[in-house]
Structure 1
Amino acid sequence: MSELDSQTAYWDSVAATKTFTHPLHQPWLEPVGRDAAVLDYGCGYGRTVDALARQGFHDLSGVDTSPGMIARARALRPAVRFDVLAAPPALDRPDASVDLVVLFAVLTCVPDGGAQRRLIGEVGRVLRPGGLLYVSDLLLQDDARNQERYARFAELHGTHGVFETSDGAVCRHHTEEWLSSLLAAFEAVGSRRITVATMNGHAATGMQFLVRKALG
């Protein structure tokens, strides 16, 4: 992954202050055994891991590119294994060793399409056959503020939907079709639109996907 696709310095600088809000959809989790091996890729400060623990999951781990975020996560849930990704998207996990991967608001932090595909491929490697991938991310927004910044940064970054935030992050919003194409190697289980607050406090439309790795 390029420096733009991990932005470690930025995430370290905001590790103590940012709040993430993408919700877990309880009906999607009900069939999953509470002894499932669950990995939160791009776990940030561990908010989603904490929510999963409160729902009874106990074989939990998280990874992130930001040492600052990982330090905050370890303070929140000291009994959970949290690791810094040394060479993203590579995971220090064996093939087919994870039952559920959670990928919440991670693709928005990885502007390059090729890097996104490599990330999804690595997640697929560690998932067991029949394992689940739960993705939550942001769609292209239709309000004037977002439309203006998509247009302003499109030439600089080469992709419509890639933009820079006022505090220095480079992010990406997506079409539903693009997100679906990233997950085409998996079997679709469910999808839903959501409204969430962004990390800078704006209401935004997002999309959640639950997909399954094929059994054979």
Structure 2
Amino acid sequence: MTPDGQLAYWSSTGVAKSFTHPLDVAWLPGLPGTARIVDYGCGYGRVTGLLREHGFTAVEGVDPSPGLLARARRTHPGLAFTLLADPPHLPFPDGGVDAVLVFAVLTCIPADDDQRRLLAELTRVLRPRGLLYVSDVLLQTDARNQDRYRRGAERYGTHGVFDVGDGAVCRHHSPEHLRGLLTGYELVAERELTVETMNGNPVGALQLLARKGR
């Protein structure tokens, strides 16, 4: 799903990174505490842990990085974490999940085709009328990022893709691109906010809550 070296990055340098996209549990309306919720690309389990703290008992974090999952299990003993051996494939039956959270994940998947494959797999496992909660980074307007986008477009062929500098390749998105990934969903809510990147820089982000069709 990611360029060569990305998985190695997320099991080495990336293990120590921190993520700050906030979880708003009010965006999970009507879900009982027993709802089956998947935190896709859970990393070190921050959002998985927050969901459990808010009373959701059937929460599972999934990630392709053994290093990040080792950190998650140390930080949140007792929570369920699953290694994805063949991402984006999920070890769940069709329509078996009530909600999926995808926080700061698309930024780690630079290619359009890979992003669409991920959304197709999430759609497969979500039940009819299930919820998809996406939080990701928007295209920035400052000179530093604009320069990174220009150089990244020359190298990767996609505006918004760039080298972070320590081994990762990331992507920032237009709101239209993120909304366009949600074909077949009803957009329930959206909001723009400011978050810190994994390297501590403030950036604009977009959160989308969408409901799968019947």
TM-score (ref. length: structure 2): 0.97
Q: CA deviation at 1:167?
A: 1.0
Query: Does the aligned pair in 2 maintain the 1:15–1:72 contact within 8 Å?
Result: no
Partner of 2:169: 170
Matched to 1:12, the amino acid is S
SS at structure 1 position matched to 2:119? helix
2:160 is equivalent to residue 147 of structure 1 = no
- When structure 1 is superposed on structure 2, of 77-86 and 129-138 the one drifting more is 77-86
2:73 is equivalent to residue 68 of structure 1 = no
Aligned-residue RMSD, C-alpha: 1.3
Query: Does the aligned pair in 2 maintain the 1:5–1:115 contact within 8 Å?
Result: no
Q: CA deviation at 1:76?
A: 1.7
Matched to 2:164, the amino acid is T
Matched to 1:207, the amino acid is L
Matched to 1:42, the amino acid is G
For the structure 1 residues 88 and 118, does the alpha-carbon distance in structure 2 shift closer, same or farther, using more than 3 Å as the test? same
SS at structure 2 position matched to 1:121? helix
SS at structure 2 position matched to 1:145? helix
Matched to 1:90, the amino acid is H
- When structure 1 is superposed on structure 2, of 89-98 and 29-38 the one drifting more is 29-38
Q: CA deviation at 1:30?
A: 4.5
Q: State how 1:26-45 maps to structure 2 within 5 Å.
A: 26-45=25-44
Consecutive unaligned residues in structure 1, runs of 5 or more:
none
SS at structure 2 position matched to 1:131? strand
- When structure 1 is superposed on structure 2, of 130-139 and 4-13 the one drifting more is 4-13
- When structure 1 is superposed on structure 2, of 77-86 and 170-179 the one drifting more is 77-86
SS at structure 1 position matched to 2:139? coil
Q: CA deviation at 1:65?
A: 1.1
Partner of 1:205: 204
Cα deviation 1:183-204 (Å, max 9, x = unaligned): 1211111111010000000000
Cα deviation 1:101-143 (Å, max 9, x = unaligned): 0000000000000000000000000001111000000010001
Q: CA deviation at 1:32?
A: 1.9
- When structure 1 is superposed on structure 2, of 52-61 and 24-33 the one drifting more is 24-33
Consecutive unaligned residues in structure 2, runs of 5 or more:
none
Matched to 1:205, the amino acid is G
Cα deviation 1:2-42 (Å, max 9, x = unaligned): x4188110001134411110001232135321110000000
Partner of 2:97: 98
Give runs of ≥4 in structure 1 deviating > 3 Å.
Answer: none
In 1: Cα distance, 2:5 partner to 2:64 partner:
6
In 1: Cα distance, 2:15 partner to 2:118 partner:
26
Cα deviation 1:136-188 (Å, max 9, x = unaligned): 00010001110011011111100000000021100000000000100121111
Query: Does the aligned pair in 2 maintain the 1:5–1:111 contact within 8 Å?
Result: no
Query: Does the aligned pair in 2 maintain the 1:6–1:65 contact within 8 Å?
Result: no
2:189 is equivalent to residue 160 of structure 1 = no
TM-score (ref. length: structure 1): 0.96
